[in-house]
Amino acid sequence: MTPFTASHVRLGASRGAKIRKGSAGLIRAPSSRGGGLHRTTRWGRHLSSKATGLRNLRQRISALFQDHEIFIRTHGNVRFLRISAVWQKRVALIVGAVLLVWAGITLAILANQLLTSGERAEVAAKQAAAAAAEARIAKYRDRVAETAADLEERQDQLDEWSDAHFGVEPAAATPDDNGAAKPEPAALETSAIDPTLPPEAQALARIEKRQEAFAARLLAAVNARAAKAEVAVAQLGLDPKSLVRNAATGRGGPFIPYRGKMGKVNALGPSFAALEGALFRMEVLERTLVAVPSGKPADVLMLSSSFGYRSDPFTGAGAMHAGIDFPGPLGTPIVAAAPGRVVFVGQKSGYGNVVEVDHGQGILTRYAHLSGFNTVVGSQVAAGQQIAKMGSTGRSTGSHLHFEVRLNGVAVNPRRFLEAKADVLEVKDDARQRVGALAASSAR
């Protein structure tokens, strides 16, 4: 028997024809069996009620699935489809099974999510911890890179100062008067390393320690040389503090913050600032010593006039003599008293033929009453190099050299320089060797 059965019926012309299938509903009356009395126990009544409930449930379910017939009319032909209750129950059973499987799968997914939520949270926590660790590592690398750049920059500055002012690294210790080595000064506390860096940065800390030790040795050597130069300059009658102060006034320019190799605004530390100041002081004092005209400008044995008050040789009146006079034969070679640059060659009123040499640090020497010139303006001359010939030009009574020393334009007594003591000349010679070596190195 198929679930769907189709029958064909031919309708007549009469519209009064009716289609009837089956008969009127069948009514079944319950029949009572055995009309006698029955004795029923409590347990029996309970079973009877359960059976009745199940039977009622089955009836209700069966009522949902009834045979259905669908009539279809096409061009006067009528056919009908019959859907049996059995097939309706099968389809309902399949749909219910599918829904049950779907519900089971859904419940399994929900249960799995609940069970794995803790694991996902743990994984997320580990990922966050890993990200934080990576961030710390990146920050640490940046700090190490910045520190390494600072150390390299400090080393470059030390090398530059060492080459510019000494040419070689100064000795680690300076011998004292008894020949014993003085203890090495302690390094100044100017750490370029962040103390919170991990132990892996100890290599950088060791480099920094070496730099600080080198800076301390360099600072000690610079201070020692500056102290000797200061004493020598003072013995020459000059004011060392005034010389350093005047040299410092000739500086300027726009303020541009110092930026390291990492592009950050920073400084190299107090020790480097102290070293820079000491180097500037040493440079000014030693170059002043080198510029001091301590060499005799003419190879003669006597002086005819000293610096200061004298009677004028023409009028006899009291007069100020701004230099000293060296008498000698006409044409006696005149040499530079110190190294410098020729800034004037020509005639000046009262002086006759004149040569002026600028020795730097505000010191200038003037050579007057000359009979001839051996140099030109702009020439660099060394100490002892001939620049002119002795004569008697200008306001002069005879062949001689008028020699002046001017400090910042003011005439000073040249004898303090020409009669310098041996210890002063020794310090000057040491300074001249250092400055001369640097000049030769720069020329190469």
Express each pLDDT in 66-93 by its tens digit.
787 888 888 878 887 888 888 888 888 8
Identity at 160, one-letter amino acid code: E
Residue 378 has pLDDT above 80, yes or no: yes
- Residue 109 within a domain: no
Residue 189 has pLDDT above 70, yes or no: no
- Residue 137 within a domain: no
Are 326 and 271 contained in the same domain?
no
* C-alpha dist (Å) from residue 349 to 353, 394, 421: 9, 7, 35
Are 328 and 277 contained in the same domain?
no
Are 354 and 266 contained in the same domain?
no
Are 228 and 268 contained in the same domain?
yes
- Residue 21 within a domain: no
Q: How many whole angstroms separate alpha carbon 306 and alpha carbon 112?
A: 114
Written as six digits, the tokens of 297 are: 């400008």
Measured from the Cβ of residue 172, the count of other Cβ atoms closer than 10 Å reads: 13
pLDDT reported for residue 22:
41
Burial class from Cβ neighbours inside 10 Å (0-12, 13-18, 19+) for residue 337 reads buried
Are 282 and 173 contained in the same domain?
yes
DSSP class of residue 380 equals E
Are 159 and 279 contained in the same domain?
yes
Q: Which residues pair with 181 in a beta bridge?
A: 175
The closest alpha carbon to 401, from 342, 337, 338, belongs to 337
Residues spanned by the domain of 200: 150-291
- Residue 144 within a domain: no
Q: How many whole angstroms separate alpha carbon 9 and alpha carbon 21?
A: 11
Please identify, among 235, 264, 291, the residue that sits at the C-terminal boundary of a domain.
291
DSSP 294-349: -S-SS--S--SB-SEEEE-TTT--EEEE-SEEEE--TT-EEE-SS-EEEEEEEEET
Are 315 and 277 contained in the same domain?
no
- Residue 351 within a domain: yes
pLDDT single digits (tens) 251-296: 677 766 655 544 444 556 667 778 888 888 998 998 888 888 888 8
- How many domains in the chain? 2
The CATH number given to whatever domain includes residue 372 is 2.70.70.10
pTM of structure? 0.53
- Residue 80 within a domain: no
Number of helices followed by number of strands (H, E) in the chain: 7, 15
- Residue 406 within a domain: yes
pLDDT reported for residue 260:
52
Are 227 and 340 contained in the same domain?
no
Are 285 and 315 contained in the same domain?
no
Give the mean model confidence (pLDDT) for residues 137-161.
71
Can you give the C-alpha Rg of the chain in angstroms? 59
Please identify, among 291, 319, 346, the residue that sits at the C-terminal boundary of a domain.
291
Are 274 and 221 contained in the same domain?
yes
Are 160 and 268 contained in the same domain?
yes
- Residue 184 within a domain: yes
Are 234 and 361 contained in the same domain?
no
pLDDT reported for residue 355:
97
* C-alpha dist (Å) from residue 236 to 49, 229, 258, 310, 321: 138, 11, 39, 23, 20
